[in-house]
Amino acid sequence: MKKVFPIKGAVQNYAWGGKEFIPKLMGVQNSDDQPFAEIWLGAHQRGPAMLRMDGKDISLKDFLEKNPNVLGEKVIKQFGKTLPYLFKVLDVNQMLSIQTHPTKEAAVKGYYSEEKTGIPITAFDRNYKDDNHKPEVMVALTEFWLLHGFKSLEAIEEVLKSVPEFKMLLEYYQRILQKEVDNKLFHFYKNLMEMSQKMVDEILQPLAERLSLDFVVGKISKSSPDYWAALAFRDNMLEGGHFDRGIFSIYIFNLVCLQRGEGIFQDAGIPHAYLEGVNMELMANSDNVFRGGLTVKHVDVKELLEHMVFEQVTPNILTGTEIERGVKVYKTSAPDFELTRILLKDFQAYNCTEAKSPETLIVMQGEVIVQSGKEEFRLERGGAFFASSGSEYTLVSDGTSEVFKAAVP
Ligand SMILES: [Zn+2]
């Protein structure tokens, strides 16, 4: 079945989501003021997209189970009879947890060992939801702020010096720098994550008080970690008046601001947290997350430390490689997915003569006419479709349109 099908994504109403961008994109009213955090355009069981076929709706998951041939031989051989990627639109209004994801090897090991112990897959303290890795690439649709990887050893020292409330931490850090230890970042971070709650509160209480004053008068810019710490103090107070040690991470990870069209790749082990903005995100089909704070979800420090890469990271901002006019690929090392941005101007067409893998496309600006064989349909902004492996299709726009495509490289 070498065809294309209109699809509709599944909305996830997580509390951190914005209330306008996604409802507007999907053309729905948000009259009860719900947070719309994510649209999932995939076959994941927690929110499969709906596919339109012969005038009826069927979930993409069921459709792929009934018609695995649309995945193509190559994908089935490499990943099994399932879509290897999960494609999303995210609208981050409140910062997400600090997290990292396992390698494929670690995920297989962890998943089957948890299966053996009998922890239900839905349990609060279950770490491995599946046996897959979860590398992620994303492209910003608005100015997008995130934390990504450890700062350099020198930059961490600088930032600790800039915060008077961290005097004790700075002294401890400087002692580590002078020590002959294998991995200084590991020692420092482990200590932060295992510090007593009493000490965490003692350090963060005065910082919270000072920042809340500054924050109220709007003195702090977003390029300062103080801004995000102030937000976290406002939004993430733990029950019982305790402070969240995830706040330390805001200072020791790189604070990155992506402009529209810029992207970044998060491979296994890279600590990260999304802070604010709208993006397109493409990841391996997995839900394996280890969290290190700024969340009410399960935090497992032991697992987090085991799977985190304790290396200084210089954020590699992806601007995309232009492969034809208006078409940019955001290349990564992940074998599971590839993200492409297609810009169409003035009746310019995008021709796909044979999809090399199962593809998912979504219109993020303008309107697009999709032609495939005898079929033709119009997609407005927010409209999406699934193209079977081997299908041919053409996209035409009469104005300026922006389309994002997920595929397997
Ligand atoms: Zn992540």
Amino acid identity of 365? Q
pTM: 0.93
Distance 294 CA to ligand 1 centre (A): 13
- Please tell me the predicted confidence (pLDDT) of residue 239: 58
Task: Please say whether the beta carbons of 315 and 148 come within 8 A.
Answer: yes
Structure confidence by residue, pLDDT tens digits, 325-355? 999 999 999 999 999 999 998 888 999 999 9
Structure tokens at 223: 């390029």
Max intra-chain CA distance, the chain: 71
Distance 96 CA to ligand 1 centre (A): 9
Distance 301 CA to ligand 1 centre (A): 16
Task: Please say whether the beta carbons of 264 and 148 come within 8 A.
Answer: yes
Structure confidence by residue, pLDDT tens digits, 95-111? 888 899 999 999 899 88
Distance 287 CA to ligand 1 centre (A): 9
For this structure, is 291 an active site residue? yes
Q: How far apart are CA 324 and CA 205, in angstroms?
A: 54
- Angstrom CA distances, 94 to 79, 91, 273, 280, 356, stand at 34, 9, 11, 17, 38
- Angstrom CA distances, 280 to 61, 245, 354, 362, stand at 21, 29, 24, 10
Task: Please say whether the beta carbons of 364 and 322 come within 8 A.
Answer: no
Give CATH superfamily name and number for 337-407.
Jelly Rolls (2.60.120.10)
- Catalytic residue, chosen from 46, 234, 291, 341, is 291
Neighbours of 274 (CB within 10 A): 22
Given a cut of 80, whether residue 2 has pLDDT beyond it is: no
- DSSP letter, residue 81: S
Extended beta strands in 237-387, E state: 253-258, 263-266, 272-284, 290-291, 321-324, 327-330, 338-345, 349-352, 359-365, 368-372, 375-379, 384-387
Nearest to 177 by CA among 3, 369, 312, 332: 312
Distance 194 CA to ligand 1 centre (A): 22
Q: How far apart are CA 369 and CA 118, in angstroms?
A: 50
Distance 321 CA to ligand 1 centre (A): 23
Distance 289 CA to ligand 1 centre (A): 7
Classified as helix, coil or strand, 157 is helix
Task: Please say whether the beta carbons of 388 and 70 come within 8 A.
Answer: yes
Structure tokens at 361: 């496309």
Distance 85 CA to ligand 1 centre (A): 14
- DSSP letter, residue 260: T
Given a cut of 80, whether residue 295 has pLDDT beyond it is: no
Structure confidence by residue, pLDDT tens digits, 126-157? 888 888 899 999 999 999 999 999 999 999 99
Structure tokens at 2: 């070498």
Please report the sign of the dihedral spanned by the C-alpha atoms of residue 63, residue 65, residue 67, residue 73.
Answer: positive
Q: Where in the chain do CATH 2.60.120.10 domains reside?
A: 10-146+258-307, 337-407
Given a cut of 80, whether residue 277 has pLDDT beyond it is: yes
Burial class (CB in 10 A: 0-12, 13-18, 19+), 233: buried
When pLDDT is averaged across residues 215-225 and rounded to a whole number, the result is: 88
Q: How far apart are CA 343 and CA 363, in angstroms?
A: 10
Given CATH 3.20.20.140, say whether it is the number of domain 10-146+258-307: no
List, edge to edge, every strand of the sheet that includes 375-379. 349-352, 393-396, 368-372, 375-379
- Please tell me the predicted confidence (pLDDT) of residue 362: 98
Structure confidence by residue, pLDDT tens digits, 227-276? 999 998 887 655 567 888 889 999 999 999 999 999 999 998 999 999 99
- Please tell me the predicted confidence (pLDDT) of residue 237: 59
Distance 86 CA to ligand 1 centre (A): 12
Distance 99 CA to ligand 1 centre (A): 6
Distance 272 CA to ligand 1 centre (A): 6
Q: How far apart are CA 173 and CA 184, in angstroms?
A: 9
Distance 97 CA to ligand 1 centre (A): 9
Strands 327-330 and 338-345: antiparallel
Distance 383 CA to ligand 1 centre (A): 25
